């Protein structure tokens, strides 16, 4: 628990003093069901079989629980539990489904980050829904320690910048909090890069082309070696082999994601891929995308 109890209580006090409804436009049980399996959590009222029942009874039917009850309920452990639980809860408070006013979301985001930064955490945009941001929590400054991702953002700036920037932002935010998302996005980034290069060069490719097939087409289209070096053909084959290996890493980890990622009806307690797997996929994908984009730009000039 790196986010201290002091920070947690400061956040709760700020929400209470400003009269912020943590569940937004949802009922309490609707909001919590987005984060927790309420049917498997125990009831604190013996008349009901689970948490879903007693929350509805005391927050909707009777309304006899205080509005900040959730922060002190041991079932959700927001005051003393894992950092990830608290960060996910705060991010969900800002979700477009939960809160409709962008101005209020921005104000709450600034308030949360002002409190969290003292313990080295922050909430950052991960993706967008209907043009509205969706957030995830991470350790502050993590993006600055990923030069490969930063280089990709710069090199791919001219390749549909809005979409690419969104993908890279999603990868950055998801590396530690959602490795499965980061891995999937890494693969999508290289696919987007390859398809853009091929389209701009008038090279046809099938809708069902795999990542290795796309990389192979791009490598064939681009002159991969610098001008005037000895034994250019041999150097070109070596570079192609390196690119193929990077594509294989990205593809391979993505296939692992499909087998060991989140969901898919796994047993309780099953663990998916970890942040280290995501860093492998993101590192390989970023390196590959940067090289292809820079070579494409250089050859275009």
Q: What is residue 163's predicted lDDT score, i.e. its pLDDT?
A: 60
Q: What is residue 78's predicted lDDT score, i.e. its pLDDT?
A: 96
Q: What is residue 222's predicted lDDT score, i.e. its pLDDT?
A: 84
> Does residue 149 have a pLDDT over 60?
no
Please give the Cα distance from 84 to 90 (Å, whole number).
10
Which position has the higher pLDDT, 63 or 257? 63
Are the CB atoms for 99 and 105 separated by under 8 Å? yes
Phi, psi (5° rounding) for residue 135?
A: -110, 160
**Mean local confidence (pLDDT), 230-245:** 77
Of 213, 235, 210, nearest to 225 (Cα)? 235
Band (pLDDT 50/70/90 cuts) for residue 155 is low
Which position has the higher pLDDT, 267 or 50? 50
Of 217, 223, 252, nearest to 237 (Cα)? 223
- What helix, strand, coil percent values describe the chain, rounded to 5? 60, 5, 35
Please give the Cα distance from 287 to 148 (Å, whole number).
6
Which range (1-15, 103-117, 140-154, 241-255) has the least confidence?
140-154
The DSSP string of 205-254 is --TT--HHHHHHHHHHHS--SPTT-SSHHHHHHHHHHHHHHHHHHHHHHH
> Does residue 84 have a pLDDT over 60?
yes
pLDDT digits 0-9 by tens, 285-298: 888 888 888 888 88
Q: What is residue 266's predicted lDDT score, i.e. its pLDDT?
A: 44
Element (H, E) at 129: strand 121-129
> Does residue 227 have a pLDDT over 70?
no
Q: Is the dihedral of CA 257, 260, 266, 271 positive or negative?
A: negative
The label of the residue with tokens 């250019």 reads 232
Q: What is residue 274's predicted lDDT score, i.e. its pLDDT?
A: 81
Please give the Cα distance from 177 to 183 (Å, whole number).
12
Which position has the higher pLDDT, 262 or 229? 229
Q: What is residue 109's predicted lDDT score, i.e. its pLDDT?
A: 95
Tell me the range of 115-124, 174-183, 187-196 where mean pLDDT is highest: 115-124
What are residue 137's DSSP bridge partners? 123
Q: What is residue 265's predicted lDDT score, i.e. its pLDDT?
A: 42
Q: What is residue 56's predicted lDDT score, i.e. its pLDDT?
A: 92
> Does residue 160 have a pLDDT over 70?
no
Q: Which two tokens stand for residue 237?
A: 């084959």
The label of the residue with tokens 């949360």 reads 112
Domain definitions of the chain by residue range:
5-128, 144-300
Burial of 91 (0-12, 13-18, 19+ CB in 10 A): buried
Instruction: Look at residue 46 and give its three-state secondary structure.
Output: coil
**Mean local confidence (pLDDT), 17-40:** 94
> Does residue 165 have a pLDDT over 70?
no
The mean pLDDT value of the chain amounts to 82
Instruction: Look at residue 68 and give its three-state secondary structure.
Output: coil
Q: What is residue 13's predicted lDDT score, i.e. its pLDDT?
A: 95
> Does residue 161 have a pLDDT over 50?
no
> Does residue 228 have a pLDDT over 60?
no
State the Cα angle at 130 between 124 and 132, rounded to 5°. Answer: 30
For residue 214, the Cα-to-chain-centroid distance in whole angstroms is 25
Please give the Cα distance from 16 to 262 (Å, whole number).
34
Residues in Cβ contact with 167 at an 8 Å cutoff, skipping those fewer than 6 apart? 185, 188, 189, 192
Band (pLDDT 50/70/90 cuts) for residue 215 is confident
**What percentage of the chain reaches a pLDDT higher than 70?**
82
């Amino acid at each position: 628990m790196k986010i201290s109890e002091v920070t947690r209580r400061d956040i709760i006090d700020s929400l209470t003093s400003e009269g912020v409804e943590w569940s937004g436009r949802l009922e309490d049980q609707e909001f919590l069901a987005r984060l927790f399996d309420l049917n498997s959590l125990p009831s604190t009222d013996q008349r009901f079989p689970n948490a879903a029942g007693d929350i509805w009874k005391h927050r909707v039917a009777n309304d006899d629980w205080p509005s900040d009850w959730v922060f002190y309920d041991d079932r959700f452990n927001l005051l003393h539990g894992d950092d990830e639980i608290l960060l996910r809860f705060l991010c969900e408070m800002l979700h477009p489904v939960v809160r409709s006013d962008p101005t209020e979301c921005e104000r709450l985001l600034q308030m949360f980050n002002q409190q969290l930064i003292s313990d080295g955490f922050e909430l950052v945009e991960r993706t967008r829904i209907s043009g509205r941001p969706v957030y995830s929590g991470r350790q502050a400054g993590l993006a600055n320690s990923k030069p490969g991702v930063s280089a990709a953002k710069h090199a791919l700036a001219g390749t549909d910048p809005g979409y690419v920037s969104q993908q890279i932002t999603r990868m950055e935010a998801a590396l530690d909090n959602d490795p499965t998302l980061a891995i999937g996005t890494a693969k999508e980034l290289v696919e987007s890069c390859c398809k853009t290069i091929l389209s701009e060069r008038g090279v046809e490719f099938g809708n069902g082309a795999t990542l290795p097939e796309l990389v192979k087409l791009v490598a064939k289209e681009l002159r991969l070696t610098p001008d005037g070096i000895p034994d250019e053909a041999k150097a070109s084959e070596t570079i192609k082999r390196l690119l193929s290996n990077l594509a294989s890493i990205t593809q391979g980890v993505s296939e692992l994601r499909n087998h060991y990622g989140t969901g898919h009806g796994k047993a309780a307690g099953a663990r998916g891929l970890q942040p280290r797997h995501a860093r492998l996929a993101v590192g390989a994908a970023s390196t590959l995308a940067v090289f292809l984009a820079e070579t494409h730009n250089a050859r275009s000039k």
